[in-house]
Structure 1
Amino acid sequence: MIRLLRQTPHSPVPGPSPSRRPGEETRWQRWRAQAGPWAGLIALCLVLFLPGMMTLPPFDRDEARFAQASRQMIESGDYIRISFQHEPRNKKPIGIYWAQAASAHLFGGKDAPIGAYRLPSMLAAMAAVLLLFAGLRRQTDPATAFLAASLLAATLLTVVEAHLAKTDASLLACTVGALMALLRAYRPLDGETALPLRYVALFWGALGAAILVKGPVVPMVVGATILALGFSDKAWAWLKRLRPVLGLPLTVLIVAPWTLAILSQPGSGSATAGGNFFVDAIRGDLLPKLVGSQEGHGAPPGFYLALLAVTFFPGTLLLIPAARAAWRERFDPLVRFALAWVLPSWLLFELIPTKLPHYVLPLYPALALLVARFAATAAAESIGHWSARLSQALWALVALVLAAVTVALGLYFDQELNPIALIGAAIFVIGAGLTLRWIWRGSAAHALVTAVTVVALGYGVLLSAVLPASSGFFLSRGLAAMAESLHPGARLAAAGYAEPSLVFLTETTTRLTDAETAAQLLADRQVDLALIGDRDITKFRAAADAAGLTVDALAIERGFNYSKGRWVTVTFFRRAA
């Protein structure tokens, strides 16, 4: 990577070594120049995305719901309708469920571990990184393209989504694919009169895949980018290069089969009827997010900007000076495109009442481009400006917070110090010092490379050895293991702790219910064990007495329910002998 950074677009190719034949030297140089960056990016992605992929238990609630719904497709053989247990999951289209089910089939089918369901997200995140590099390497110099792709891979939000079996990593890949094709149409290469057919297919194919994954999000980002460019340039003719007459049928071809299949589902008036999927998805999921704070996830405008120092880490090292430089250079076509990608969609996301940190992930590739462009060209004085110092201070603060969190995880959730956590914390602290040393020496590019390396090592320790070792943080894992040890293959009912991860880690038939129903199910011998949270113990015992049921308390598990932000003590009950 360092060698790549030393090159400029016009750097001469070194001559052949006298000890080698010219042909051999040229072939090696050509391979290194062409394949080296690709191999480096793939290796970086593996280092960032693989740790914890198989060892981290499913997270609540979205990941567990997605993975469980995909597993139920395998169990039922129904690959058209989406359900979590007996409830239709009419929220997102089918794309991610098909990808997860296909991956799970490769790793044991319905018995596949959670890592199998995460594999599509990991591959999608890698695809986003490689697509960004592929799209930029002929639009700018190789160092900038490589830095931008590396930064996108190492961004905290990208790493998180690559580890989760949900839609957002796939959506990122679709966004990068569509926007890189749009960039080629907006800024064709010298002598290019028509957009190559592969870019036409990439644009319309990515739109189709994005709709099948998460509905209108990527079309909205693409549309906002096009409108911003069109109105700012007062030019629209370049859009003809996208060849919509040829490309739009490809989008329809991708989306139509499942749409027709779900519309043809029988059961008029039922929740699983075809037309009801779209009614529920729009009325029950999309519109509530647009007009109110759905499921308590509301926040005022400025929410995403306030979180940017953390979610875009380590790119925040140079983000503020990069933003200043981008505004000064806004008439440069590449910078203009990146700003059109970010600004209008960011404003829309800030105005939508429902907010979650990952919603703005499709805009991060453009931020990565702007930061990489600044890093590759910044003069020493530009990274000494007060705005740059502010950016560096925020970055150092986040690095120290990550170090503290790495150590605090075991202390808080398990009341013990994980020795490996000290290694992770040391990586973040020492790495922060090395990164800032490059800044003080006036080398923004080397500082960014160091920052990416630091987070790759630090995240690796955190995700592979620290977080998976926490029993208090992953209560469902402990409950599933305890249930299996008490009564292998037990039928379960849970009250007072109703997280989807418990269903995924046990059986689809696990009942998430209330205390009274759990007691009745145990009395009727429909379940073998009842798992009752501490706040529901009194209700459960009263219901058991009313049903004439005598119960034995077998074991207790305690852990942190992060979905509700409180500690929970769960007691295992069975019918008395």
Structure 2
Amino acid sequence: MPTLLTRQRWQLLTCLALLLALAAGIGLRAPTPPDEPRFVLAARAMVETGQWLLPHRGSELYAEKPPVFMWIQAATYQVIGNWNLAFLLPSLLAGLATLWLSWDLARRLWNRRIAWWAMLALASCLQFGLMAKRAQIDMVLVALTTLSLWALLRHLLERPNTRLLWVAGFAAGLGTVTKGVGFLPLLVLLPWALWRWKVQLRPGAALPRARSLLWLIPAFLLGTAVWLGPLGIALLNDPSPELQGYARELLFKQTGTRYANAWHHVQPAWYYLQVIATLWLPGSLLLPALLPGWWRRLRRGDSRYWLLLGWALLVLLFFTASPGKREVYIFPMLPALCVAAAPLLPGLLRRPGPRWLLLAYVLVLGAAALGIGAQLLGDGAWAHAQLARRGMPETLLPVLGAWLLGFGIVVLLLAAWLRQRRAGMLAVLTAVLLWNLHGWGLMPALGPYSSSSALMQQVGERIGPSAELGALAWREQNLLQADRPVTDFGFKRPWDEQWHDAGPWLAQAPHNRWLLVLEQAISPCVDRAQAVMIGSANRNRWWLVPGTAWNAACHAELSKDAAAGVDDGD
């Protein structure tokens, strides 16, 4: 009994430590690029206007992603009433849900001990922590794909259960209208069919009839109807070109065209190998040792490995086949691979080789933090140059340096104490410390500058409380952090076209209107002597143009390269 109580106490402390690490710093920072300000701007517009069906980015419809994630953020804000909390909470809850689903799936497929290995393996990987602490769609998507896979594997490997099929289909459908690829869990039916065909079942094993899987179809359609239903009704009732164009852009260009003929983020076929080697640390260090064990179990016909590993391989092949690649695309594979690795990890970490690899990872991470922290606290030219490029004050150097130095010292002390004999525990503790460093130290210090809140505060102070503000060639964080309503002239429109509307707008009230403009987009019709360089943010220089600086009689255009300047919004 004492042993059981001790184990339960340690498990409770582990869960609490992971929760606090993933939640560290929530509410202490504003949304930061590339994606966070875009989604929060659209969610805030939903709350303010009551128009929830069609997300807006300023005055334009935002047609790059479905609105489901923005709905979740807007609904969270209406419950909490604070955007700095509300915008991160969906990712945090989705991360915790993914940890639990991975734990429960491993428990059902093996046992409770293996379940803890699966959960801790997932929590230790860099990409999981990064996504759980960022307000991007991908963490919510992975929670939905993991839920769908959890339900499907239970139906296929435990016992037939129609209710689980409805959960699997609905989660896959909802994931599809959250970010296009939510259907991925359904691909597990392919390795299941191959396993069923090639491997003889053990006597007495229960296998659901293939016919029962037809319940996935109505469940999937019901999940997609959460968004496609209201959109379809709106299209029937409002045949306006703007709405029709929005639907075509999102349903066709941003899905099929984006996959088959990507126009950006084009990467070579081997791109995901480098993603696995870096963002899946420290787990990726153990992959060479895991592969032989996985292969032996596949040859024995173990259905659990056929489904988990076969599905992960299909996901990798699916995204590799597209010319457009981003590191987050293969993130849905990670929980399944951690579940598949969990039964092998106890034996693996009894070997000196894998333990030394994990220890080396921790030592390199700690030494890097120690070295960078010491340089920031010193008088390194590199650190000053980096801050200058981003328009950040040098007062950040001691703050960032102290946090990194402290993290490096603690990690190296832990490594000296636990050494390679407890390398698994050392990797988990390092991950917990890393996410605390990220949440309490680095992001709150960098937040005012990466979120443009410091820049927009300067803008508000410079133009005064009664002035009107416009924006041209703007970024989402500019509108989000402004202290007043901002008039914009489009986001994806070429800059020359924006000037055609911005110039007359300035001329209507030249003594009360100002325009925030990206440096590269300043028109030749602006008197530079009157314009004010207000600051830098996100490696861009921003200018304030007063209405009196606009020459209404001028008809000069931007240079050819600048006139075509747009933001792809990805």
Q: Report if aligned partners of 2:471, 2:515 keep a CA contact under 8 Å in 1.
A: yes
Question: One-letter code of the match for 1:80?
Answer: L
**CA deviation string 1:350-373 (max 9, x = no partner):** 221111111111000122224433
The equivalent position to 2:295 in structure 1, one of 315, 327, 332, is: 327
Distance 1:210 1:242, change over 3 A: farther
Q: Distance in 2 between matches of 1:397 and 1:298?
A: 31
**CA deviation string 1:129-155 (max 9, x = no partner):** 111112211322323211211232342
Distance 1:532 1:200, change over 3 A: closer
Counterparts in 2 of 1:515-534, with a 5 A limit?
516-517=499-500, 518-525=502-509, 528-534=513-519
Q: Report if aligned partners of 1:551, 1:575 keep a CA contact under 8 Å in 2.
A: no
The equivalent position to 1:267 in structure 2, one of 213, 232, 238, is: 238
**CA deviation string 1:257-287 (max 9, x = no partner):** 53232112243251214xx544222332123
Structure 1 SS opposite 2:543: strand
Structure 1 SS opposite 2:542: strand
Q: Distance in 2 between matches of 1:317 and 1:525?
A: 62
The equivalent position to 2:481 in structure 1, one of 489, 502, 505, is: 505
Aligned to 1:535: 520
Q: Distance in 2 between matches of 1:553 and 1:267?
A: 44
Question: One-letter code of the match for 2:256?
Answer: L
Query: How many aligned positions are there?
Result: 516
Question: One-letter code of the match for 1:203?
Answer: A
Q: Report if aligned partners of 1:403, 1:429 keep a CA contact under 8 Å in 2.
A: yes
**CA deviation string 1:58-78 (max 9, x = no partner):** 222322221111111112212
Tell me, yes or no, if structure 1 residue 476 matches structure 2 residue 459.
no
Aligned to 1:418: 398
The equivalent position to 1:234 in structure 2, one of 197, 202, 210, is: 197
Q: Distance in 1 between matches of 2:383 and 2:445?
A: 8
Aligned to 1:7: none
Q: Distance in 1 between matches of 2:429 and 2:296?
A: 30
Q: What is the Cα deviation at residue 292 of structure 1?
A: 3.1
Question: One-letter code of the match for 1:71?
Answer: R
Q: Report if aligned partners of 2:145, 2:182 keep a CA contact under 8 Å in 1.
A: yes
Structure 1 SS opposite 2:269: coil
Q: What is the Cα deviation at residue 397 of structure 1?
A: 4.5
Question: One-letter code of the match for 1:302?
Answer: W
Aligned to 1:461: 437
Mean Cα deviation higher: 396-405 or 143-152: 396-405
Question: One-letter code of the match for 1:529?
Answer: W
Tell me, yes or no, if structure 1 residue 557 matches structure 2 residue 544.
no
Greater relative contact order structure (CA < 8 Å, 6+ sep): 2
Q: What is the Cα deviation at residue 117 of structure 1?
A: 1.9
**Unpaired segments ≥5 residues, structure 1:** 1-12, 16-27, 189-193, 562-566
Distance 1:431 1:328, change over 3 A: farther
Q: What is the Cα deviation at residue 302 of structure 1?
A: 1.5
Question: One-letter code of the match for 2:243?
Answer: T
Aligned to 1:374: 344
- TM-score scaled to structure 1, two decimals? 0.79
Q: Distance in 2 between matches of 1:226 and 1:314?
A: 30
Counterparts in 2 of 1:94-493, with a 5 A limit?
94-108=67-81, 112-188=82-158, 194-196=159-161, 199-215=164-180, 217-219=181-183, 221-234=184-197, 238-240=207-209, 243-246=212-215, 248-265=217-234, 266-273=237-244, 276-294=245-263, 296-330=264-298, 331=300, 332-378=302-348, 380-381=350-351, 383-384=352-353, 397=364, 400-401=367-368, 411=384, 412-413=386-387, 414=392, 415=394, 416-419=396-399, 421-428=401-408, 431=411, 434-435=414-415, 440-441=420-421, 446-470=422-446, 473-474=449-450, 476-486=452-462, 487-488=464-465, 490-493=467-470
Q: Distance in 2 between matches of 1:168 and 1:154?
A: 18
Question: One-letter code of the match for 1:43?
Answer: L
Q: Report if aligned partners of 2:37, 2:480 keep a CA contact under 8 Å in 1.
A: yes
**CA deviation string 1:439-465 (max 9, x = no partner):** 743xxxx42222121121122123322
Q: What is the Cα deviation at residue 480 of structure 1?
A: 1.5
**Unpaired segments ≥5 residues, structure 2:** 200-205, 377-381, 550-570
Q: Report if aligned partners of 2:156, 2:207 keep a CA contact under 8 Å in 1.
A: yes
Aligned to 1:64: 37
- TM-score scaled to structure 2, two decimals? 0.80
Q: Report if aligned partners of 1:44, 1:150 keep a CA contact under 8 Å in 2.
A: no
Q: Distance in 2 between matches of 1:403 and 1:232?
A: 50
Tell me, yes or no, if structure 1 residue 86 matches structure 2 residue 59.
yes
Q: Report if aligned partners of 1:375, 1:448 keep a CA contact under 8 Å in 2.
A: no
Distance 1:394 1:451, change over 3 A: closer
Q: Distance in 2 between matches of 1:79 and 1:312?
A: 36
Q: Distance in 1 between matches of 2:306 and 2:460?
A: 58
Distance 1:492 1:313, change over 3 A: farther
Q: What is the Cα deviation at residue 182 of structure 1?
A: 2.1
Q: Distance in 1 between matches of 2:361 and 2:270?
A: 17
Q: Report if aligned partners of 1:420, 1:461 keep a CA contact under 8 Å in 2.
A: no
- Percent of aligned pairs with the same amino acid: 22
Structure 1 SS opposite 2:517: strand
Distance 1:177 1:536, change over 3 A: closer
CA RMSD of aligned residues (A): 3.5
Q: What is the Cα deviation at residue 123 of structure 1?
A: 0.8
Question: One-letter code of the match for 1:211?
Answer: T
Structure 1 SS opposite 2:540: strand
